[in-house]
């Protein structure tokens, strides 16, 4: 079997370096380029799949480059707005020949945490999200927290639930977190942490806490490799790795 040629962008970063190691260790994959800031992107031209763990401000240029060359992409970089997704759908066109997977979180536990939170959302009057990360993270709230809040908000809307109760009338800016689709999201940045999230749900007399912890970036690799192996069979835009885990049914 010929190994699948893979390039990693952001290869000297925290996630990129972990991905380089994971691709090198996989017998069915071949690392053909490890591209960091300042390197020529053309080095990745021989890849069938590009993995991007760079920065929200550079990822779109890399994706345009991939799509212009018919290369599939697996993207963990955060910062995908509706406008960005619309541009990608537009570029992929009605009959795409390549796939783009954009996942806010590749860890199986985090995907399950979002799934469970969505299931639980309709049963509780109150819900808030707390995301906790290492202090070198540049974006807040995390992409995972934004996606979790959006999914919770949609589930609450479908169930006809009103906004979570909140009597706050005076507030220091930020004290109640960010409002994401009507769900409060709080961010913690603390040395020693990697990537963690709690979804707190409350009803009269009880609470439910759904917590996920990534203690090491190796936790993201099974999801990254599953997406790399399958993206070619999923032409067009795929959001999240749920289809690769059988969680979209
Ligand atoms: N989906 C998921 O499961 C996960 C997603 N992430 C996301 O992935 C992204 C990266 O995270 P992380 O690895 O911690 O961040 P890092 O800052 O450690 O890595 C980003 C790397 O990209 C490099 N870079 C910047 N510009 C370019 C460019 N034009 N071409 C190639 N490389 C470039 C940076 O170089 P330099 O430092 O020199 O600027 C840096 O080495 C973030 O958006 C983060 O939120 C993180 C963990 C899991
Ligand atoms: O920057 C990180 O570290 C992480 N970023 C992603 C996010 O913003 O959700 C995924 C994970 O939380 C780690």
Is residue 149 within 8 A of residue 180, CB to CB? The reply is yes
Q: CA 138 to CA 56: how far, in whole Å?
A: 9
Of the pLDDT bands very low, low, confident and very high (cuts 50, 70, 90), residue 175 is very high
CA of 74 to the centre of ligand 2 (A): 15
**Domain locations along the chain:** 4-102+218-245, 108-215
Q: CA 72 to CA 228: how far, in whole Å?
A: 9
Q: CA 190 to CA 27: how far, in whole Å?
A: 37
Q: Which atom of ligand 2 is nearest to the CA of 138?
A: 1
Catalytic residue list contains 216: no
Phi then psi for residue 222, to 5 deg, are -60, -40
Is residue 98 within 8 A of residue 67, CB to CB? The reply is yes
Closest ligand by atom to 41 CA: 1
Going by C-alpha positions, the residue among 101, 236, 24 that lies closest to residue 8 is 24
Q: 10, 15, 106, 142: which to mutate for ligand 2, most atoms within 8 A of CB?
A: 142
Q: CA 73 to CA 237: how far, in whole Å?
A: 10
Of the pLDDT bands very low, low, confident and very high (cuts 50, 70, 90), residue 245 is confident
Q: Is the dihedral of CA 42, 47, 51, 56 positive or negative?
A: positive
Q: CA 102 to CA 203: how far, in whole Å?
A: 34
CATH 3.40.50.720 describes domain 4-102+218-245: yes
Q: Which atom of ligand 2 is nearest to the CA of 104?
A: 9
Token code pair at residue 218: 């190796």
pLDDT in tens, 44-71: 999 999 999 999 999 999 999 999 999 9
User: Helices 143-158 and 108-120 meet at what angle, rounded to 10?
Assistant: 30
CA of 205 to the centre of ligand 2 (A): 33
| Local structure of residue 55 (DSSP, 8 states) | -
Closest Cα to atom 13 of ligand 2: 195
CA of 83 to the centre of ligand 1 (A): 21
Going by C-alpha positions, the residue among 148, 164, 167 that lies closest to residue 203 is 164
Using the predicted structure, report yes or no on whether residue 181 has a pLDDT greater than 60: yes
What's residue 246's pLDDT? 84
Using the predicted structure, report yes or no on whether residue 249 has a pLDDT greater than 70: no
Going by C-alpha positions, the residue among 118, 83, 54 that lies closest to residue 129 is 118
Closest ligand by atom to 217 CA: 1
Q: What is the pTM of this model?
A: 0.96
Query: Percent of the chain at pLDDT above 70?
Result: 100
Catalytic residue list contains 137: yes
Q: What is the CATH number of domain 108-215?
A: 3.30.360.10
Question: Which residue is catalytic, options 115, 137, 186, 212?
Answer: 137
| Local structure of residue 108 (DSSP, 8 states) | H
Q: CA 184 to CA 171: how far, in whole Å?
A: 14
């Amino acid at each position: 079997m010929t190994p699948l040629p893979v390039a990693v962008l952001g290869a000297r970063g925290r996630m990129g370096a972990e991905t380089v190691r994971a691709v090198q260790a996989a017998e069915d994959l071949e690392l053909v380029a490890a591209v960091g800031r300042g390197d020529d992107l053309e080095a990745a031209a021989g890849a069938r799949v590009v993995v991007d763990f760079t920065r929200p401000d550079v990822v779109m240029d890399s994706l345009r480059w991939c799509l212009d060359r018919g290369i599939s992409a697996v993207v963990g970089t955060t910062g995908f707005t509706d406008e960005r997704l619309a541009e990608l759908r537009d570029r992929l066109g009605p009959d795409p020949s390549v796939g783009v997977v954009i996942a806010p979180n590749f860890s199986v536990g985090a995907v399950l945490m979002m799934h469970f939170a969505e299931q639980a959302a309709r049963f509780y009057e109150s819900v808030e999200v707390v995301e906790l990360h290492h202090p070198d993270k540049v974006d807040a709230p995390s992409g995972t927290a934004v996606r979790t809040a959006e999914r919770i908000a949609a589930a609450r809307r479908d169930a006809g639930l009103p906004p979570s109760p909140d009597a706050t009338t005076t507030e220091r800016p930020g004290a109640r977190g960010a409002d994401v689709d009507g769900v409060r999201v709080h961010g913690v940045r603390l040395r020693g942490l990697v990537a963690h999230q709690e979804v707190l749900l409350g009803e009269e007399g009880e609470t439910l806490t759904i917590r996920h912890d990534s203690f090491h970036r190796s936790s993201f690799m099974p999801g990254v490799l599953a997406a790399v192996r399958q993206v070619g069979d999923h032409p067009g835009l795929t959001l999240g790795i749920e289809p690769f885990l059988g969680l979209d049914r």
